[in-house]
Chains A and B, each alone.
Chain A
Amino acid sequence: MPDLELQRIRARKRLRVLLERVLIYLLLLLILVVSVYPFVWTFVTSLETSGGIFEFPPSLVPTDPSLRNYKEVFSLVPVARQVLNSLLLCVFGVGLSVAFCALAAYPLAKMNFPGRNFVFYAILATLVLPNEAGLIVNYVTTVKLGLLRPETGAVGQFAAIILPALPSTVGLFLLRQAYLAVPLELIEAARIDGASELTIWRRVMLPLTMPTIAAFSILQFVAIWNSFLWAVIVLRDRELYPLAAGLLDLAGAFATNTRAVSAGAIIQIIPILIIFFVFQRYFMRGLEGAVKG
């Protein structure tokens, strides 16, 4: 019977789809384990206080969990101070770079003036232009600007860390893209009403591009919170280390104290994970936008 035949074909097809799904989920789970397991291991180790750290097979749940390692980290290194340092760097770093990028992107998107394309493409070219001596010259510049002199204190050293991170090409690019979508009639209408360009920027452009600004802020926050190399090179004063740099310091000084170091690592990641999970949507948008052009 053709009806029966059809049913059999359908059943076989359903089975194939089901089998394929099972395979896909198995693959997804395998990749999940590889991407997440190091975090799980670190978390478990940070909560354990007894037993072997490295053992076959590795443990998946902490035996006898406690927060003792976290207390210990606070006594080994000035964690609270380092968290504060990181927060200060992030607040100023994000605030200023958003402001500077948002300002600079406005004429590049909505004004006609000589040199516009040159400025834009010169900045864009720095994304792919190799600049391997950049680290050295920036260090020389920072020294010559006097930012590391003892009398400039913490402000000077913080400025030394944060200034190179402010002019973000990605930020400029994202904001220019967002401004381009703002209808010109809105701007013209405001101009006819006698609004100054700065007012238009503040009252028209910024409110209409808030999602992009949020996306870039989050990208920049994560970048600054996670960076350590420049701070390690530049900073004389370990008191001023951001958390990521402090963590390496801790790992160097107490290499054998894996439990305390793993607790430090968890402290460094947690704020990022919270921000990432809460603002995920913005995050992905920023990332995609940065590459689409």
Chain B
Amino acid sequence: MNARLLRTLAIAYGFMLPMLALKAVYTFWPILFGTYLAFTEYNIISPPRWVGLRNFEELFGLGAFAGRGPDRDFWYGLTNSVKYVLVVPVIQILSIGLAMLVNRQLPAISLFRTAYYVPVVTSFAVVGLMWNWMYNQYGPVNFILTRLGLMNPDNPTNLLANPHLALYAVMFVTIWKGLGYYMVLYLAGLQSIDKSLEEAAVIDGAGRWQVFWNITLPGLRPTILVCSLLSTISAIKVFEEIFVMTSGGPAGSTYTAMYFVYAQAFQDFRYGYAAAAGLVIAAVSLIFGVINFRLTRGGSSS
């Protein structure tokens, strides 16, 4: 009996060994070691030196750093990252609408679905370049804006060069690239809703809006939880689109929390300080995750 259990254990963990080993090194170890690094000073070359809460004091402007005040770059970045969460409700509402729009039997509908998905499979390297061109002073976006009378045609300005608008311009790109992804997920959600419920409601005389509000939306709730959670997590740690499109500019207006972490680690070689910032961002991300959970009532469909 015992030998059999041992055999099963050996076989089971043998099958999982490569996966678990890599997961341990590249996923679990970073959580542990990253937390430890946050309390040290570390530049990779010499071993980490324990500094207690000093990194956090520097971030928050406490203790030894009380005179200097909080690290402005960090808080500026974190504020922008939190602003970026604005993307979440917009992208969820738009993608639910889009999923409902394409969730019908119409000629050529699958062609549209496929086309909407193309931005999702495109690298941020390409997406960033393309949208830099789109936003060019004399590019297509400004062409439309001038025609709509929203911009002076004699002197158009690049939205990405405008400190008040650059962050929103990048947000638009995030939405543009993510929309198709969430559309597919909501499409799956819509198709899992029992059709007879909607039909019964229609027979009972419910209008379209009532059907949507009382049947479709509650049925989508688990999908909404998953999608908004995923998109909140990636909004807080937004980095790639910034890295490719604006490098945090102009005048720091698109500088985000993860850009701060990146700059501290790979430009200033302050790995401990960067890890501390990462830990604070993780905490913020967790808080937003919990808010998400509350707002969707845990994703239960009742």
Whole-angstrom CA separation of A126 from B139 in the bound complex: 41
Smallest Cβ distance from A231 to chain B, in angstroms? 10
Contact pick for B118, options A52, A138, A273, CB 8 Å: A273
Whether B137 and A54, one on each chain, are in contact in the complex, defined by CB atoms closer than 8 angstroms, is: yes
Write the A224-256 contact mask toward B (1 if CB under 8 angstroms, else 0): 011111000100000000001101100100000
How many A residues, CB 8 Å from partner? 90
Whether B15 and A103, one on each chain, are in contact in the complex, defined by CB atoms closer than 8 angstroms, is: yes
Contact pick for B11, options A197, A233, A247, CB 8 Å: A197
Whether B118 and A248, one on each chain, are in contact in the complex, defined by CB atoms closer than 8 angstroms, is: no
How many B residues, CB 8 Å from partner? 96
A35 at the interface (CB under 8 A from B): yes
Whether A287 and B185, one on each chain, are in contact in the complex, defined by CB atoms closer than 8 angstroms, is: yes
Whether B12 and A35, one on each chain, are in contact in the complex, defined by CB atoms closer than 8 angstroms, is: no
Q: Which residue of A is nearest B27, CB measured?
A: A126
Whole-angstrom CA separation of A262 from B130 in the bound complex: 8
Whether B134 and A101, one on each chain, are in contact in the complex, defined by CB atoms closer than 8 angstroms, is: no
Smallest Cβ distance from B32 to chain A, in angstroms? 9
Whole-angstrom CA separation of A133 from B102 in the bound complex: 39
List of B residues within 8 angstroms of A268 by Cβ: 123, 125-126
B31 at the interface (CB under 8 A from A): yes
Whether B126 and A265, one on each chain, are in contact in the complex, defined by CB atoms closer than 8 angstroms, is: yes
List of A residues within 8 angstroms of B22 by Cβ: 100, 163-164, 166-167
Whole-angstrom CA separation of A119 from B30 in the bound complex: 17
Whole-angstrom CA separation of A114 from B35 in the bound complex: 29
Whether B30 and A133, one on each chain, are in contact in the complex, defined by CB atoms closer than 8 angstroms, is: yes
B261 at the interface (CB under 8 A from A): yes
Segment at the A interface, from B57-65, B84-92, B197-205, B281-289: B281-289
List of A residues within 8 angstroms of B289 by Cβ: 128, 130
B167 at the interface (CB under 8 A from A): no
Whether B8 and A41, one on each chain, are in contact in the complex, defined by CB atoms closer than 8 angstroms, is: no
Give me the interface of B with A, judged by CB distance under 8 Å: 5, 8-9, 11-13, 15-16, 18-20, 22-23, 25-31, 33-35, 37-38, 44, 98, 101-102, 104, 106, 109, 112, 114-119, 121-127, 129-131, 133-134, 136-140, 143, 146, 153, 176, 179-181, 184-185, 188, 192, 223, 226-227, 229, 233, 236-237, 239-240, 243-244, 257-258, 261-262, 265-266, 271, 274-275, 277-279, 281-283, 285-286, 289
